[in-house]
Structure 1
Amino acid sequence: MLKILGKSSSINVRKVLWLCEELGLPYEQEPYGSGFQSTDTPEFKALNPNAMVPVLIDDGFVLWESNTICRYLAGREQRGDLLPSAPRERALVEKWMDWQATELNNSWRYAFMALVRHSPAHADPEALKAGVAGWNRHMAMVEAQLSRTGAYIAGASFTLADIVIGLSTHRWFMTPMARPALPAVEAYYQRLSERPGCRLHGCNGTP
C-alpha cells in the first residue's frame, strides 16, 4: 500500500490526497510537519533532504516534490485522461502544473503569510498591497485561460493541472482580501467542488 508522509493541512500534501481519490488508490498517511511529527530529523531527511512534505513511499520507492508525485501516480495507473501520453497534450498539462509551482505559488506568498498565517515578518502594508495585486494578476491569467477553454485549465477535460490550480483557486477564495470578479474562475471552482476528491481535500475549509 502507498504511504504518504505529510499533514493534511499542507496544500502540497492535499494535491496527492486529492489525486489518490481520483485514482481510487488506498493509502496510509502519516502526519508530518508543523504541529505533527518533525521533518527535521535524520530519518526524515534520509527520505527527503529538503525536510519538506509530502513524501511518497511505494513499495520501497521514495519520491518527493508534490507535482512529480502526481505525475508518477497518474503514470503508474496509466491514466492518460489525467496526464496524456501524446507530447503536445501532456506538455499543456505540465506547463500549467509548473506555472502553479513556480509563478502562482510565489505570487501569493506574502499576502498569504500576512493575512492567513499572520506572520510578524510579513506586516509591511506596501508589500502586502503589492502581494495582493500580484496574486490577483496571476488569477486573472487563470480567468483568461478558462475563458478560452470553457471548462478546465488544459482543455475540455479534467487533468492533473486542475488539481494543482484548483487548490490554488481555493486558497485565493479563502484568503480574506479584496478580489476582482472573475466569473470563469468562480464557475470553475464550483465545477471542481462537485468532485469527491475536491470536497475531501481541495475545498475542505483549509486555505
Structure 2
Amino acid sequence: MILWGRASSVNVQKVLWALAELDLTYAHRTVGGKYGGLDDPAFAALTPVRKVPVLQDGDVAIWESHAILRHLARRTGRLGDPPGAVDSWMEFGSTALQPPFIAVFWQRVRLLPQDRSAGVEADSLAAIASALAMLDTGLSDGRAHLAGDAFTIADIAVGCLFHRLLDLYPDSLADTPHVAAWHARIAGRPHYRAWVAVSYDELRVQG
C-alpha cells in the first residue's frame, strides 16, 4: 500500500492513525500543501479531485479519507463494527462537526488577522457547540466509544479533529462531560499521540 498526503492534513492523519492501529505496512508519499505534487502525473492519475489523502492498495486507488477508513476496515475485518452505528457517526463528523471546525481553523490559523471575520468564527463556534451537544447525548448511555464499547474507525474519523480544536479553544468540552471523557480515552491511545497530537505550525499563515 502507498499513502499519498502530507501528515499535517487532518484528513491524512485519520488514515495514518488507522494504518497504525491496524499495524499495516505501507509507503508514505508526502504531497499536498507546501510540498506540492498534486499536479504530478503519478498523483493526478489516482484521483480526479487532486486532493489528499489517496491510498493505493494494489491496483485500487481510494480517495476521500472516510472511504479509505472503510476500505481498511473491510480489508482487515477490524474497527468497522457495528457498521450502521460506525457509518452514522462518521457521516455526522463529516456534516455536523468538521465543516465548522475547518472554518474556525482557517480563522485562527490559516488567515492573516486582517482577513479574519469575527462573525464567521462566532457562527462556526456555535455550530461546533451544537454538534458537541449531539455527540454528548450519543455518549450519555455510558458507552466507551462512539459506536459502542469497541474502538472503531468512527472514533478515528471524529476524534482527529479534537487535538486542534482543544488547542485553539481549551474550554470547548466544558459543557459536554461525556465527550470530554471519550476524548480522554482516545487521546490516551499511543497512535493518537503519534499522529494526531502533533504540531500544526507549518500550516500557520506567515504575515
TM-score normalized with structure 2 length? 0.88
Question: Unaligned regions of 5+ residues in structure 1, if any?
Answer: none
2:100 maps to 1:101: no
1:184 is the counterpart of 2:178? yes
Judged with a 3 Å threshold, the aligned counterparts in structure 2 of structure 1 residues 191 and 180 are, in CA distance, closer, same or farther, namely closer
- 2:50 is paired with a residue whose SS is coil
Which residue does the alignment assign to 1:132?
Answer: 125
Determine the structure 1 residue equivalent to 2:54.
55
AA aligned opposite 1:62: A
- Asked whether the 8 Å contact 2:11–2:52 carries over to 1, the reply is yes
Please state how far the C-alpha of 1:149 moved relative to its aligned partner: 3.8
1:197 to 175, 191, 194: 191
Rounded Cα–Cα distance in structure 1 between residues aligned with 2:86 and 2:41:
35
Structure 2, unaligned runs of 5 or more: 202-207
1:167 aligns with 2:164: no
Which stretch has the larger CA shift, 5-14 or 178-187? Answer: 178-187
Shift of the alpha carbon at 1:171? 2.7
Structure 1 residue 134: Cα displacement: 1.2
Report the AA paired with residue 184 of structure 2. Q
Q: Is the 8 A contact 1:100 1:164 kept in 2?
A: yes
1:19 matched residue in structure 2 = 18
Distance 1:27 1:206 in 2: 23
Counterparts of 2:6 and 2:12, CA distance in 1: 7
CA displacement at 1:42 relative to structure 2: 4.1
Using the TM superposition, name which of 151-160 and 102-111 deviates more.
102-111
Taking only aligned residues, the RMSD between alpha carbons, in angstroms, comes to: 2.0
Name the CA distance, whole Å, in 2 between partners of 1:193 and 1:105.
18
In 1, Cα distance between equivalents of 2:97 and 2:114: 21
Closer, same or farther: CA 149–121 of 1 in aligned 2, 3 Å: farther
Structure 1 window deviating more from structure 2 (114-123 vs 8-17): it is 114-123
Percent identical: 34
Separation in structure 2 between the aligned mates of residue 149 and residue 93 of structure 1, nearest angstrom: 17
Shift of 1:116: 2.0
Partner of 2:76: 77
Asked if 1:112 is matched to 2:109, the reply is no
- CA shift at 1:62, angstroms? 1.1
Q: Note the C-alpha offset of 1:195.
A: 1.4
